[in-house]
Amino acid sequence: MGGRIISVSDLHLWGPQDPLYRALLRFMSEQIKSGDKFVIVGDLFDLFVGNKSVFVQRYFEVLEALKKLGEKDVEVFYIEGNHDFHLESIFENAPHVRIYSDYLHYEFNGRKILFSHGDKINAKDYGYQLFRFGLRNLVSQTILEVAPGSLIDRIGSSMSRASRGYHPEPDEKVVQLFRNYACEQISKGYDFVVLGHSHYMDDMHFCVEDHKGQYVNVGYPRKHCKYLELTADAPTFKFLNWDDVVIPFRSSSNRTVSD
């Protein structure tokens, strides 16, 4: 059955040897059906900046698979994260892939959905803001164009290692900030708010002056093994397991899913 919204975020893929990378390829070919909308809510890649050949080569199969989804009439909405941005030129020849640098407002069967990675919500996350400043703001499009890919890869990889990609423990204050932000958006009329970035799996229902809305966050798929599905007639987003498709990326040591 097609026509669903399928959403992932925070996979932080590091390359073709990553079991999650293989899993995502299988997921795209087997689970995403004709007519589905595939929404990526940032940090699909652990590092992908601009159209540098070092990244294009590293993630070649995933890029090709995303482009191929157009053949089965799947629209792809790619909301950039803080580890993957300036991607617009990568998909220039794939009109079914649309890139959003901040957020996506989407209407699905009369319901309003806000998708955003969420990295701008916590203005007091100094460590992260430094990462963002260093990578996203300082590395402007102009610098990106002239700097060698290998240099960006080296700097970016070490910054990425120092940020959430390799230290995925969620911060309670961030979790609260994200919930507050989602509630605020629901009070403005959104029916669903989909965020990533916090690496904290969340599924909350808010009711503000008789208007109900759901906030969802898939957390950190390496740990929580979830993706999201919203069908046309379902009242809420459902958390589905990667298990059917993906055996290798769950190990016995990271099975805690109580949060």
Residue 191 contacts residue 113 (beta carbons within 8 Å): yes
**Minimal distance in Å, beta carbon 100 to Mn ion?**
15
Task: State the residues that interact with Mn ion by CB under 5 A.
Answer: 43, 81-82, 197
What is the C-alpha to C-alpha distance for residues 203 and 210, in angstroms, rounded to an integer?
19
Q: Which is nearer to Mn ion, 43 or 153 (CB)?
A: 43
What angle separates helix 60-68 from helix 19-30, to the nearest 10 degrees? 10
**Minimal distance in Å, beta carbon 45 to Mn ion?**
11
Q: Which is nearer to Mn ion, 206 or 227 (CB)?
A: 227
**Minimal distance in Å, beta carbon 201 to Mn ion?**
14
Q: Which is nearer to Mn ion, 98 or 120 (CB)?
A: 120
**Minimal distance in Å, beta carbon 42 to Mn ion?**
6
Q: Which is nearer to Mn ion, 128 or 237 (CB)?
A: 128
Which distant-in-sequence residues (6+ apart) come within 8 Å of 125 by Cβ?
Answer: 171, 174
**Minimal distance in Å, beta carbon 170 to Mn ion?**
11
Q: Which residue is nearest to Mn ion (CB)?
A: 197
Residue 200 contacts residue 170 (beta carbons within 8 Å): yes
Q: Which is nearer to Mn ion, 44 or 246 (CB)?
A: 44
